Amino acid sequence: MFSLIAVALVVCLALIFDFINGFHDTANAIATSVSTKALSPRTAIIIAAVLNFLGALSGTAVATTIGKNIVTPDLITPLVLISALIGAIFWNLFTWYFGIPSSSSHALIGGLVGGVIAGTGAEFVNWCEFAVIFAGLVISPIVGFAAGSLVMTVLFWVFKKSFPSKINNRFRKLQVLSACMASFAHGSNDAQKSMGVISMVLVSGGIIANFYVPLWVKVACALAMAAGTAVGGWKIIRTMGGKIFRIEPINGFAADFTSSLVIYSASILGAPVSTTHIVSSSIMGVGSAKRVKGVRWSIALQILLAWFITIPSAALTAIIAHSLIKVFV
């Protein structure tokens, strides 16, 4: 039986992870609208915080995938979850500091796998389910890239005879809608991951009999993410909003619209995806449709490298954290 102190520590770390996720990943949802001046930074942050909160309350399918599929909740110890969250939090802060758009989803999944390996052994990881989750993480950015390119191509075809200034003014207004969609979709997927971790420790600690997400957990995670969003993530905004390619309002709308549909579809299916990589791949798809040479592929390569190293890096950090805690506690 877990002690209440251990359970409380896991809950606190999960909410800290959600808070960091708020300023680390939510910048993705508003980066294009800020860079095109469709929204002021302050207004964008407020919109993102509110819509993230509402999105977080919209379902629990992703929470169930995180909380039940990677490892059975009954086999989890508080030390495993504490190590996992330390690994995920460390990697998020490390990549945020350097302005690298890495994935909080990858960080949390890597941290969970590393914590389980260190605490109970690799054989207790449900590798089949992990493979399914990993496949979703691989496929979703590809879908984002293809969909972004398709949507942008269609928009070019529809408005090919229109004046650029008139089109940009129209789509600058539409970007408010697409930023709302992207923020809601982000909350619907990312906030649920911490809900899954907290519900997992509640089951393992005997506080709830069966796995489900209590209302207070939903509200707490939604508030933590909204609070993190309010802090902002300007390092990531600079990368996503202008360094990949020069974004105009029509491009920003296409990227946000595309990524929000892909992310929310994944949320409905219960697939924990990387909102960071879906947004960035959508931007690259939109940029490629406009002009392939206009995309700064060196930045895209940096994002791709972060994609590959995040899971093993967070897992290794969790394993190190587990070892250090056992030594000093």
Q: Is the pTM of this model over 0.95?
A: no
pLDDT at residue 300 above 80? no
- Mean pLDDT on 194-213: 88
3-state secondary structure 206-246: CCCCCCCCCHHHHHHHHHHHHHHHHHCCHHHHHHHHHHCCC
User: Token match 């995806």: residue?
Assistant: 273
Burial of 164 (0-12, 13-18, 19+ CB in 10 A): exposed
User: Residue 138: pLDDT band by 50, 70, 90 thresholds?
Assistant: confident
Least-confidence region, from 136-150, 296-310, 314-328:
296-310
| pLDDT for 234 | 54
pLDDT at residue 34 above 60? yes
| pLDDT for 26 | 64
- Mean pLDDT on 229-257: 68
Count of domains observed in the chain: 1
pLDDT at residue 85 above 90? yes
Contacts of 246 (CB under 8 A, 6+ apart): 294
User: Which whole-number Å values give the CA distances from 54 to 169, 225, 267, in the listed order?
Assistant: 28, 11, 14
Structure tokens at 161: 């005879």
Which range of residues forms the domain containing residue 198? 4-328
